């Protein structure tokens, strides 16, 4: 059954079920001219949005509708995590080619609903339109944060450590394997492909870091090199990172052999990891590790006074200027 068989309003009736996970914050959800929400008193409101365009951000030959829906929400939750906040509500707008099946759209929303249940997020509205070309998904997410816990890119100070959550590079290595079309042949490929198709936003860890002294924070969406430059520029500091300390999984190292690439390149320039890059006083970093030993946090460098830019120390001990390479929609190739 295609969209023409149910029409726009019939489709809305199908997808609006099970969209509210925190009813106490919603007065009116899907079905009126606008959603009506009940904000938490004395909390700062966070708002973010991301657009995914077919054949630029995703390829329907390598992702399922459910995986795509999950990721469309995840990339927005990661922005809220980087501010130290709690995600609350999502608005989903989709432009659909007319040949799209109803089952595809329902599975797309099932992926969105799955991650929204995991993080207690409500889907409260959006828009559905026809697309003359490919599929386009735009998601906007609102969140909340205690004023004292708001994390930004602009607070890093000389003497802070530079650190990241979990491992980096998995998503771009997974994408490279998917693009080869033979990823299922390799035992090591599953964690990498999963990291690309269904990334896990670091919401709880972001809240922990923001509440315990993170001076700046950014989510790693465009590659570590790019995000390091964003913090350095916003905070007016220099950063020095140790290449040998950047956390890479064994699966990435195995994939790099197959793909003929340096493992570290996936972390530095790949993007879409949706992990967190942050700065913090050394004493607070030790404290956070004590508070939550389950949080996988790795120190990769230090914050320096302004003037040197972003520096990478390689495994031979040589220091190089690190270029702000990473994904950029409008950069000439």
Cβ contacts of 277 within 8 Å, gap of 6 or more: 162, 163, 164, 217, 218, 219, 220, 224, 227, 228, 231
DSSP 175-202: HHHHHHT-GGG-TTHHHHHHHHHS----
How high is the pLDDT of residue 332? 42
The predicted structure's pLDDT at residue 11 = 76
Domains 3-149 and 161-321 equal at CATH topology level:
no
Domain boundary assignment for the chain? 3-149, 161-321
d(CA 246, CA 289): 18
Which pLDDT score, from 0 to 100, does residue 98 have?
85
Would you write out the chain's pLDDT as a tens digit for each of its 333 residues? Answer: 666 666 667 777 878 889 999 999 999 999 889 999 999 999 999 999 999 999 999 999 999 999 999 999 999 999 999 999 999 999 999 999 988 999 999 999 999 999 999 999 999 999 999 999 999 999 999 999 999 999 999 999 999 999 999 999 999 999 999 998 888 888 899 999 999 999 999 999 999 999 999 999 999 999 999 999 999 999 999 999 999 999 999 999 999 999 999 999 999 999 999 999 999 999 999 999 889 888 899 999 999 999 999 999 999 999 999 999 765 543 544
Q: DSSP label at 4?
A: G
Domain 3-149 annotated CATH 3.60.21.10: no
Q: What pLDDT is recorded for position 185?
A: 85
- Evaluate whether the domain defined by 161-321 bears CATH number 2.60.40.10: no
Q: How many Å apart are CA 231 and CA 268, to the nearest integer?
A: 15
Whole-number pLDDT of residue 55: 94
The predicted pLDDT at position 330 comes to 39
């Amino acid at each position: 059954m295609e969209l023409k068989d149910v029409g726009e309003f019939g489709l809305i009736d199908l997808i609006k079920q099970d969209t509210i996970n925190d009813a106490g914050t919603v007065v009116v959800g899907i079905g009126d001219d606008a959603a009506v929400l009940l904000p938490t008193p004395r909390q700062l409101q966070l708002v973010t949005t991301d657009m995914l365009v077919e054949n630029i951000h995703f390829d329907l030959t390598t992702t399922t509708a459910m995986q795509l829906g999950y990721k469309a929400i995840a990339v927005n939750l990661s922005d809220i995590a980087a501010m130290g906040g709690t995600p609350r509500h999502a608005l989903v707008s989709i432009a659909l080619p007319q040949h799209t099946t109803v089952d595809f759209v329902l599975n797309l929303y099932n992926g969105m609903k799955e991650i929204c249940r995991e993080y207690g997020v409500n889907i409260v509205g959006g828009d559905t339109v026809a697309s003359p070309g490919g599929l386009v998904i735009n998601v906007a997410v609102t969140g909340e944060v205690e004023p004292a816990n708001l994390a930004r890119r602009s607070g890093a100070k000389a003497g802070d450590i530079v650190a990241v959550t979990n491992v980096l590079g998995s998503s771009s290595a997974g994408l490279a394997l998917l693009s080869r079309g033979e990823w299922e042949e390799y035992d090591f490929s599953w964690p990498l492909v999963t990291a690309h198709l269904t990334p896990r936003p670091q919401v709880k860890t972001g809240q922990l870091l923001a509440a315990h002294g993170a001076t700046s924070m950014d989510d790693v969406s465009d590659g570590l090199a790019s995000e390091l430059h964003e913090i350095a520029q916003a905070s007016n500091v220099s950063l020095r990172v140790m290449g040998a300390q950047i956390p890479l999984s064994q699966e990435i190292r195995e994939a790099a052999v197959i793909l003929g690439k340096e493992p570290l390149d996936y972390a530095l320039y790949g993007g879409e990891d949706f992990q967190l890059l942050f700065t913090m006083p050394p004493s607070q970093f030790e404290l956070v590790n004590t508070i939550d030993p389950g949080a996988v946090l790795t120190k990769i460098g230090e914050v320096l006074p302004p003037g040197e830019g972003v520096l990478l120390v390689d495994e031979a001990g040589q220091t190089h200027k690190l270029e702000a390479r990473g994904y950029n929609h409008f950069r000439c190739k």
